[in-house]
Structure 1
Amino acid sequence: MDRRSVLKGASGIAAASTLSGCLGILGGGGGGNQGDAMLWHDLTESEMDLFESSLETYNEEEDLDVQAEASGDLRNSVETTLASGDGPELYRWAQDWAGNHYQRDFLYDASDDIDINLEETFSEAAVQAIQVDGGNATIALPVAGETVSLLYNKDIVDSPPETFAEMESIMQEYNDPNNGKFGLSHPINAYFASAWMHAFGGYYFQVNDDGEGVTGLDKEETKRGMEFLRERIWPYVPADTNAGPQQAIFQNGNAPFAVNGPWIIGTFENNGIDVGVTSFPTVEGNTPSPYTGTQMWYFSARMADDEDRRDAALGYAEYVSQSEDHQLANAEATSAIPVLNSISTDDLGDQVSGFKGSYDGGIAMPNHPKMSAVWAPTEDAMYAVLQDGADIDSRFDEAAETVRSNWEG
C-alpha cells in the first residue's frame, strides 16, 4: 500500500463503457491495436519519462510492440475489465491489491514461467509482496519500494539521532505550540504510525504458518506501542492528525523532524528545506519497523489466454525488475527505493539510503485479503485514545473483536 491508497476503500465499479474514456484502448475485447501485450498504470509525471524509456528500449531489443495506457482510475479500470474477461496483461500498483485480486481470480500465477531466483535477486520485503497463497503463487515482479522514515531539517538538526532519547531531547527543546513550532511533523494513522506500533513486538495483523490471518490489536505488545505513541509522540505534533497540516509545519521550517515518505521530498525541497533522511532511531533497544510498500507489475489473468502475449508481457516485467540502471535512475528521480539485492546503500544518495534502511528493516504490508478489514477499527481505536482519552486496554480489545466480527461476517 502506498501513500495513494492507505485506508482507501475500493470505490464503486463503473461500467466498462465509462472506462473507455479513461483508457484510450481497452484490453482484449475492447478493440483497437493491442500490440504484442498491454500494460496499464497510473504513473506520475516524474515517473513517466523513465518508464517510457524502459518500454521503448525493451521493444527495440526484443522487436516487440508492447503498449501502455494510463488510467486516472486504475482500480476500477482493472477490476471491471478483468471481471468481464478483458483487461491488460500487466498493471502496476503496490502490493495491497494482491490478496483481494488473487482471491477474485484476477491474477495469473507465473511461478513456472519466471526464470529468476527471487530470494537471491530481490529484497525480502519485495519477495513477500509479490507472493500470495503462503508463498506458493508469484503474481507480480517488483520494481521499487517505499516506506515512511524519519526526516530531519538539516538547518535545525546537525546529525540524525540514533536513539529516541536523543530525538526526544531535540523535540522537547524545539516544541512551542503557542508560537506555531512543534517537535515533530507526523500524520497520525495506522500506516504512518506503524513503526512505533511494531516497536515492541506488536502487530495489527499477521499471517500464521497455516496461512490464516490473525489480528494482534489486543496483544500487550501492540498496546505498549499505542502507549508509546500517546506518551512520546502525540505531545510533539499538531492536534490535527491529517497529512496536510502535519506536512505544513515541516515544510515551513517549524519542526525539526518529520515522519513521511519518498513522495514528499520534492515538495519539502521546493519550499527551501534541506531534508535529511535516516532510519528510525532505536526505542529502548528496540528497532521501530514501519510497514513497507512495493510497487510491482501485476500479472493479470489475461496472461493465461495467449502464450505469445504472456511471453511479451513477462519479458518486460523480468527486464525492468532486474535492471540496476532503471532502479538507480528511479531512485535519483523520485527517491524510490531499489529492491535489487545487488544495489547497496553505497550506490545511493543519502536520502534514498535513509529510506532503504527503514525499508530493509521494515515489515512488508500484508497482502492477505483479510487485511482490508483491519485498518478502520485500528484507526478508530487510535483516535479514541489520542483525542478522546479512551483507555488503551479496553479500546484495543474492542477493536480486535470488531476485526474478528468483520471477518466472520
Structure 2
Amino acid sequence: MTQSPAPLPPPKLRRHLREAASLTHDQVAERVGVARETVRAWESGRTTPRGRRREAYAKLLASLTEADMVTNPQEAAPPPQVTVCPNNDPHHPETPEAPGGRPTGTTLTPAQAFDALYAFCAPALVRQAYLLSGRRELARESVERAFQVAWQRWPEVAVDRDPAGWVRATAYEYALSPWHRFRPRYRHPEPPPSDAADRALLDVLLTLPTPYRRTLLLYDGVGLDLPETAAETEASTPAAANRLLHAREAVAARLPELASPSALHRRLAEVASAERLRAAEPTTVRAGSERRARFWTRVAIAFTVAIIGATALTVRTAPTRYEPAVPPGETVQGIPPRSAPGTLSDAELDLRAKLRSGIQHGPQRLIPLAE
C-alpha cells in the first residue's frame, strides 16, 4: 500500500512560519538537508518537496506551527488567497485549500476575507513600516491607509495573485512619501528605541537612501527573493542586487557584527518586535475607509455642482450678439503739425498793452475810443 505524502501548508504560510521563528533560509536548509535556493523555491511555490525531504520539511513546519500558535495565536492564520467564485463575482471570494490540502468548502464575505487578510498582515506590516520610516505613529498610519485603499478597491485586491504583497507595496509607498516632512506632526523626531544596539541599527537604516532601505528590508527582512524584490521596488534584477550589496556594505561598515545576512535578518526582526507596535482593529479600518470614500464622493459632487453653476452663470451673462471691437486709430495724412506758440513781437506787445488799458468797469464789452 502506497503511503500518502505528508501534508504541507501553503507556500506563504511556510514563509510566515519561518519568519515567526526568526529562522533564515540557511538554517531551514541545514535542518532539512537541502540548499538555500531550494527552500526559497518551496516558499515561493515554484517547486514542491518530495520523499524524505518532504517528510522532514513537513515535520519542521509542524513544530513551527505549534510554536507560532503558542507565541502569536492571532497571527497563526495564513493570508486568504481569495479566488473568483463560479459566478465570477469578485465580491464573494472563496477560501482556497486548507493547510492540509483539503478544500474548506466555505464562502467568505468581503468583510470576512478583508478581516482575515488584515489579521495576518497588519502586525508584521506595522513593524516593517517602522523600520522604513523610524516613526511609530507613521508606521501605524501607513498600514491603516494601505488597508483603507485595499478595502475601497477590494474587488481588485480580492482577485490579485498576492493580496499581501499588494497591501505591503501600498504601505511602503505611503511610509516613504517625502511629503510627510511638511506635516506639523512629523517635523520633530520621535524618541529612539531604548536599547543602544537597536538605536544604532535604526540610525544606520535611516541613513540609507530610500530605494536601498526598501530593498534591504524586503530581501533580508521579509525574505523575498531577488526577482520579487526587484519587481516590488520597480527596478531591474541587477539594479536590485546592486542596491542590496551597497546597503549591506553600509550596514557592515557601521555595525561589523551584522555583516552576515542571517545576523542582519535576526536583528531586523528583533528591532521591529521590541517596539510592541499595535495595529487598529479591522472594523475600525473598514469604517475609516468608508468614511473617507463618502467624504471624497461629496467633494466630487460639490466640485461638479460648482462647475455646473459657473457654466450656467457664464451662459446667462454672456452677450447674445456679436459686438465688433473698436478698431485702432489711423494716421491722417496732409494735416500740418500743430506748432507751439512763440514769443510776441513788438507790435503784438503794444496791442496787448492797449487792450488791457482799454478795459472799462461794468459789463464786459469793448468800447471803441476815438483817436
Q: Aligning the two structures, in what range does the TM-score lie when normalised by the shorter sequence?
A: under 0.3
Which of the pair has the greater relative contact order for Cα pairs under 8 Å at 6+ separation? 1
In terms of fraction of residues, the more strand-rich structure is 1
Taking structure 2 as the reference length, the TM-score comes to 0.26
In terms of fraction of residues, the more helix-rich structure is 2
